[in-house]
Structure 1
Amino acid sequence: MEDQSRRQFLQNAGLASLTSVSGITSGPERNKELFVQHIFFYLKEPNNAQHEAQLLEGLHKLAKSSYIQFAHIGKPAHTTGSDIVRDYSVSWMCFFKNIIEEEIFKSHKIYHDFIAGYAHLWERMVIYDSVGPRKVG
């Protein structure tokens, strides 16, 4: 079986499993819109460089998932402005082909290993999800 068709088969099988156990629907709008997730991590010890390095290590591992189209890992920028929020430790922004890909991603071992191995480092995280067209303009 060709790699791409094997991947498509596994993806469809995963989606079928998710749909059967979680009630996920796969309407056309869920396939067409780009899905972006931006997570802000607040470390329990924000000044602990070792904990920050561990979280960054975990996010870099997570970014290798084939379901993620693009990932950006960052820290607060030194910019000015009264409306700029800089109280988080690390940000993680990732782009998925669609919301279904993100839901499949969250069912995989790499995601569960990340949560199990690194969740003890943060006291909270804030998640922003958005959907929209693949191209603007």
Structure 2
Amino acid sequence: MGPARETLRIDKWLWQARFFKTRSLAARVVSAGKLRVNGTRVTKPSATVGPGDTLTFPQARRIRVVRVLALGERRGPAPEAQALYDDLTPPEESVPGAPRPEGKGRPTKKERRKFDPFRRSPLD
């Protein structure tokens, strides 16, 4: 039998890699069944992860896909945390918003009427 593979609890690794501010937040995401390890859904924060595993999970309004490169010893500074993973998340595409004034100062009443169709009503 080969050497044992190094592993770490998934909630602890997500916290050390600075994806979540607290370990309990990371555990909550895992417990809710929102994390996948190598395509398999994981629901226990005590599940282990090791180098080479691919994780898929929601973070804010994005779906993150990362490959684990190393296990951390501690929750260190951001550059140290970024060395623990390879980010495979595709870059976000910018969505064009409403047109903006050209920056010539405050728009006139006539110019503001052009933007009304793009604004939401406060009652919506």
- Normalising to structure 2: TM-score of the pair? 0.27
Say which one has the larger Rg. Answer: 2
* Richer in helix (by share): 1
- Normalising to structure 1: TM-score of the pair? 0.25
Comparing both chains, which one has the higher relative contact order based on Cα–Cα distances under 8 Å and sequence gaps of 6 or more? Answer: 1
* Richer in strand (by share): 1
